[in-house]
Amino acid sequence: MAVGKQIVSVFCGAADKEAYEQGAFVSETKTIVHQQNEVEKSKNKLYKVIRDRRTGQEPDVSLSEIYQNITHNYPEDWLAYIETLELAIHDGDHLLATQIENRLLEIIQDHQHWSKLILDGINLAKNDQIALLLGPK
């Protein structure tokens, strides 16, 4: 348990060096680097645009264009819709927010196993007590 305002130092090792072995274990298994296909690269670019918007950077793409991109290229990506819904609500774009929420409810009809995740995301996006924190511009 950490007590205090912040942690200023961390030591990775045994407190009593003589009581424990000090050998370093090196795994024989190498890290597997996943090669992304074009769809994954494109989806990562979409999420970067959303993240840039969330951190206060104004991308060259409007929220409506982001929504259209998701609808045409990733129609089942509920998380991208939730993040875009949150931004639309924050920006006061009620028409777009309604469109996104309706799309999310359609996804629930096709994927009941996602219903709790989606409904919780909608509730968080609409909750005035939990404000979208935008970074400095």
Residues 6+ apart with CB under 8 A from 55: 134, 135
The per-residue pLDDT string of the chain (137 residues; one tens digit each, 9 = 90 and over) reads: 556 677 777 767 667 666 666 666 778 888 888 899 999 999 999 999 999 988 888 778 899 999 999 999 999 999 999 999 999 998 899 999 999 999 999 999 999 999 999 999 999 999 876 666 665 54
Q: Label residue 4 left, alpha or beta by phi (over 0 means left) and psi (-120 to 50 means alpha).
A: left
Q: What is the pTM of this model?
A: 0.72
Q: Choose among 50, 45, 60, 46: nearest CA to 90.
A: 50
